[in-house]
Each structure stands twice: as structure tokens, then as C-alpha cells.
Chains A and B, each alone.
Chain A
Amino acid sequence: MAAIAGTGTGAEPATPLARRWVKLSGHHLGKGQILHSPSGAWHCGRGGGVMAAAVGMAALCRRLTAALRLSGARPGPTAAGLPGLTLNPLHKNLVKVEPVHQLKFLHTSLSRRGLEEFFDDPKNWGEKTVKSGDAWNIKQLRAKSSEDLHKLWYVLLKEKNMLLTLEQESKRQLKPMPSPERLEKVEKSMKNIDLVVKEREIALRLLQTGHEKPVPGEWRHDFLGRTYWYTYKEWPIPWYLNKKHKKRRFYYLRHVNHFIRLRLEKFLRRKARKQNLERTRRKVLERKFPHLAAKSQSQQ
């Protein structure tokens, strides 16, 4: 299967650990919305595949529809005969997966099954509001395995595409878009998934190599005296042959010290002003509500 065949190219040292780690956390699958994947389908949270590296997403779709056929389709979102991968991405709304044998919910014709996923359930067309659950929290996502996060990412991506399509069409038809808050929820969930995956990658990298960042770098000065983290980039030629790069100055001259001091003063002044403001606000509150003063004193 494509998923197994294409393990990440440059990641040979990483995969054994990744696989082991992912398998351990593999069994608690979602709160019912991500169907129990057929075992062994996804060895690692990552796989090969070109740009849209959904690692044989077609294969995944097929396997999930197979799972659906086996374990019975879910009522509700799949009712209108939408393709197998209609996992409701916003989870609170969801019904638990019950082994109901309702095969009529499966859309078996191959005609426009893929492109239908750019649009919502046909029942929701023309509605004023569409109900949706809450966005995914970071804490909830940390409890999921990498396979689940990977699948959830694509589910959310498709949902986002669908919502963007709806938004554009509503602008075209000069009608209000039903429930635009879904877009924000989806974007927040995707950002949270990204954060969780980054955390896990950093942890793995620290364990394996001892480095936190994926790309090495160093602290450098710029010609204005500021200090910043310079990440090394890949170049086809060395820096001493790069005329434009040689014009960049990674040092500053003596006359810049005056401006560094001014900048420092400005920063300190801002910080002091913010602290004073906070203190005065707290004093005002304590004067109005004396119980707060008593509580802060007891805390101290």
C-alpha cells in the first residue's frame, strides 16, 4: 500500500522511534468521530507522497469506506449520500459511532463524489444557520495519536475548503453566509494541531539529537545594533561567492551605541509605564472592592 511504501525519505533514523511511539498511543482513537481504522493501515503519522502528501489519500478513503461498510455507516451527516469521509470535524456535535447497518447511506457512484466534498450537505443549502460544535482544544488534541492528528488535519482542510467555497459563493449571490464562525473554529483547530505536532517533533528531536530547532542557527547583530536569531539557509554557492550577501553587514560601528542606549531607554520606559498602570488599576479595584485587598494580603 502506498502508505507503507513511501516512508519519509530523509527520516530513516526517525522512523523506528516514531513508529514505536505512535503505535503505543495508537489505541485510544477519537471521541467516536474518527472511525476505528483498520489495523496496520498507518504505521507512522507521516508517510511519503508528493506535494499533497495525503499519502494515498485515495487509499485512505477506500479503506475508510471499507471500514464504513464493515462496521455500518453513521446516520446524520452521511444521510444525503455523501462520500465515506464525512467525519464531522467539529467534535462536540457528534454522535457516537453505532454499528448501524444502513448501507443506503453510502454513495457508491463514482461520478462527482470527490467534488461534492467542496460543498456542504445538500440539506444545509439555503439554511440561515448551520449548527456546528466547538473548535478543538490543544489539551484535547494532545490526547490524540499522531495518526489521528494527521487524519484530522485533512478532514479540517477539506472542511475549510468547503467553507471558503461557501463564502465566495455567498458573496457572489449577495446572500449572507450561514454560520461564518465555522471558519474561525476550523482555523483555530488547524493551528492547534500544528502546535501539538511541533511540540512532539521538538520532543523527539531533543531525545534523538539533543537539538530543539530543526534548522541550526546563531545569534547575530545587524547594522542597527539589534541582536536576532539567524537561521542557516541552504544556498547553492558559499557565502563568499554571493555578491549580494556580502553587502549585508552583521556588525555595527561605534556610533550606533548611542542609539542602542536610546532604544533600551524607550523599552524600559514602556515597561515601567505598563507596570505602573497595572499597579494603579489594581489599587483602584482594591479601593472599590475591599475583599480583593484582603485576598491579596492573605495570598502574600
Chain B
Amino acid sequence: MTQAELRLCSLLLQEHFGEIVEKVGNSLLRTGPRPLRLLVGDTGLLPDQVKKALCVLIQHNLVRYEVQPRGSVEYEARSERILRILRYPRYIYTAKTLYGDPGELLVEELLLHGHLPMSCAVARVADRLTETMEDGKTMDYTEVSSTFVRLADTHFIQRCPIVPESPRSAKALPHSAPALAIDEKDMYIVPRLSLVGKGKRRHSCDEEEEEGEHKTKRQKQDGGSSETPPDDGIYWQVNLERFHQHFRDQALVSAVASRMDQVCGSHLRSHSGTELFPFRFLVFPIQTSSEVVRTMLRMSEVTTASGASHTQPLSSNEIFRSLPSGYNIGKQVLDQYLALLADDPLEFVGKSGDSGGGTYTVKVTWGPGVSRVSPSSFPHPSLIPPLLHRFGSRCARIFRLLLRKKHLEQKQVEDFAMIPAKEAKDMLYRMLSENLVSLQEIPKTPDHAPSRTFYLYTVNVMAAARMLLHRCYKSVANLMERRQHEMRENKRLLEKSQRVEAILASMQATGAEAAQLHEVEEMITGPERQQLETLKHNVNKIDASENQVDETIFVLESFIESTTKRP
């Protein structure tokens, strides 16, 4: 674990779980797996505090435990999972685009709580949705349940490992910690529950206590929630890998689109902010190649093992049948597109056989495919933009050149890139000093005399990727610290503004006049308002930047992971 990762994990834990959890997490991250008493000693916290923190961390899958042979339990932090906290908004937004508001809220609840039983999750989401509906309307459990089932069917959520059934004999001592396990095949099976009910509306804050009182009474009378729920012991969590697969598919489709949908290519690029919405939305008929790839990926959603390099082979007949309705291209045309895609040097699609009119697979790794990389294509989509902005477009040109040609001498770089020698030198040294390019020595003579040695510039892709990733972590950590600093600096003003809003709200509730309201509003002076506006603007900007950097982190991590996995 690098220092940058450690620092980022620390900040994430502190921001979302508080300082006590951060201290415990920190200790585990820096010193490795340890048992409880060592943790207590190391952090200097009270034992109860440490226990509480560990419960929270385990609940959220950020720490795992293992029973050691000698009976003690060791806890280990999962750093890569902690870093995923940064991506929570993206997961939730994706769920919204795919499954609407119920899907969004289900994923959000599961992320907020780590894991939940289905009955609990459905109830909470129904209540929240009911809150947003018009008066008198409620959200029925069945709609939320069906969304839950769809999420499970497409593997976006999965069951947590369960406590094994252990025979309870009088003599058997319960273990110090349960060994949780689950079979792959059981992971997506939704228990048969008949969840009946409607969301309960929560009244305004003032009446909350009464409502709560009524609720408790109602619950007691119902007897429903005082019994063990039917899905006791079955917990669900978000399947992050599946979301990553989805992001990857999106990137793949947009890469195909930008490369092959020539007519729409520039059109798409100008809409750089918008995601390509998924399958059931209207698609322009011109984007045929990307649509074909998207269809193939959709068909392979749950059949592709995570970490596989290709999807399962799909026959062109199957693909033809699975194209979205309203998409009327002939079978011949489809075959032509498939052939085109298969022939493309970037190997998005490979032909794997001839049965069923030809079978095809989609290559789904972030493979280098370095040999014939073109600037906008997907194997190195994000190595280039950071360079573009930091060093300038000419540096980027040199970098791309080196990626393509692998090894070049100083002179050759100047010639191929068509950049004057002095500038080229300067750029190369800057990139060299940042470790983006490296020098390779090739001696001509056995004595390695400097005057008779070739010095070639080259890009070590993995090293460059790792270095950029490290910088990304550092960037996010810096952004977070800056944001927290801004909030601290303006703490007094923020508290004042919150108080004023509270007063305003209570006055409005009791029916105050406009003049009185205005008077209260005036308590915040003009310059103070300005200051608050600036603060809000800055904080928003920093937050948006953090989201943006996380996108780059995702690409780099996927790339590194898939490249190191290959034999």
C-alpha cells in the first residue's frame, strides 16, 4: 500500500464514519492484520470504542476477520474496498439509470448500511418513496420488491455469506467467530417472501414523535415486526464487481462508437458530458456498430465471468434476434457490421467460429493492443488526457508516438513528431523526470562505452499507469483535505446560516408575516451571503473534481488489474 492510498483511505473513513473508526482503520491498514487487544493498545482508544468501530467496519465489508489456529480472531482491513467509497455516487446513479428510483434507493440503502435483509431494504425504500409522493399516495411494496428481484437477477446485488448451520450440542462451544461462506450458485437467489405492505409516510419533524409513537403502537399491535422476519439471516449487499463490469461495457461501447460510428462520431464527442443511456432508450439508427456491440454485451451480462478476457461466443443469429426492437437492419447488414468489427485492428470483436451464421465474442479486457493504437481509442483512453493538460498537446503527441513505435532515439522523436529539437528535448526530459518515459540503453560494443551506445526513449506502460494512479490517489486526498479546510474556515458562518434557516423554518411553520421573515433573513449580511455563495461554489467544484478523478482511477485500476492478470 502506498502512502497515497493510506492517506486517502484515512480521509474517506474519517469523513464517512468519524475519527474513532478512522483510527482503528488506520491502525489496521498501516500495521496489518491484528487481534483486538493489540488494536486497543495501538490506537489508545477505549476497548468499547474499538469494538464498536470494528462492528461498523465489518458491517460495511471494509474489514474482514479470520479465526487464527490458536483461537484468537484477527482483523484485516480491505484497503481496495475502502477506496470504493469514493465511487458510491456513481453506483447509485447507474442504478437509477437502469432501474429508476426504486433501484436507485435500494442500492443507496444497501451502500449506506453495508448489508440489509431484503424485507428491511424494501420497507425502507418504500417509506422513502412514499415521502416523495403526493399526499395520500403510498408506494406499494410489490413494486420495490420486483425491482429488488431484477437487481438480483442481473447480479447487481448479491447475498452475503451466511452463518453455517452448526449442530448445537450441549458440549459444543460456539466458535469465537463464525466462518461465513456462500456458494456461488446461491448468491443471487431471492428468497420467496410475500412482502405485503405500503410505505409509511412520515409527517413533518414536529409531529415526528407522535408519529413514531403511533408507529410503535401499531407495530406492537401488528405483531408483524416484532416477530422474526421470514428472511432472517439472509443479507444482501451490492455487487461492486458487476457495476464495474457495467462501466467497462459502457466505455467499450463508447470506444466503438467513437471509432466506428463515423458519421455520428464527432456528434457524440461534442456531447462529452452525457453518458450513453442504456438499452431501452431511443437509439439513432446511425450508431449501428456500437449498438451491435452493446447488444452483444447485454446478452453476455451474467454469463461472463468476472476477469474473463472474452465474452462467451454468440452466434449472429442470436445477436440478430436480440437487437432492440425498432431497430430494423437486415441480417445481411448485421453480418457485414460484425465482419467489420472483427476485422478492425483494435480487435473489439473476434470471430470464434462459423456455426449459426458465425459466432463472435467481444474482447472485454483493457488490453494494451498497443501496436496500432489511435489517439481516441480505448486501451489507453486516460493515459493521454492527463498529459494533454499538464504538459501540453505536443508532449501528448510525443507520448502517443512512443506508444506506437515503442523505442525511438532522440533524433527520431524530433523527426516523427515534427517538433523542433530544442522543444522536443525539453519535453522529453520533463516526461523523463516525471517517469512517464524511460531511457533504454542498447550498447553497440561490449564495453558499453557511452559514445557507442544507443539511447532509446520508451514508454513503460505499466509503470506509467501505476504512477498516474498514484497521482490520482494523491489528488483526491488533496482535494478532500482542501474541501475540509474550506468548511472549517467558514464554520462559524455556516452555523449561523443554519440557525437562521432553522428560525425561518419555524417561523414559517407558525405563520409569521413576510416582514418578520425578511427581518430574520437580514441577519445574514450581504458580504456574508457572498461568502456563503463562494464557499458553496468552491465545495461543489471540489466535489465534482473528486468524482472526475475517480473515473480516471477506475480506468487505471481496471487496466492494471487486467494486465497483471494475464499469463
- A and B found bound together: no
Q: Which B residues have a C-beta under 8 Å from some C-beta of A?
A: none
Q: Which A residues have a C-beta under 8 Å from some C-beta of B?
A: none
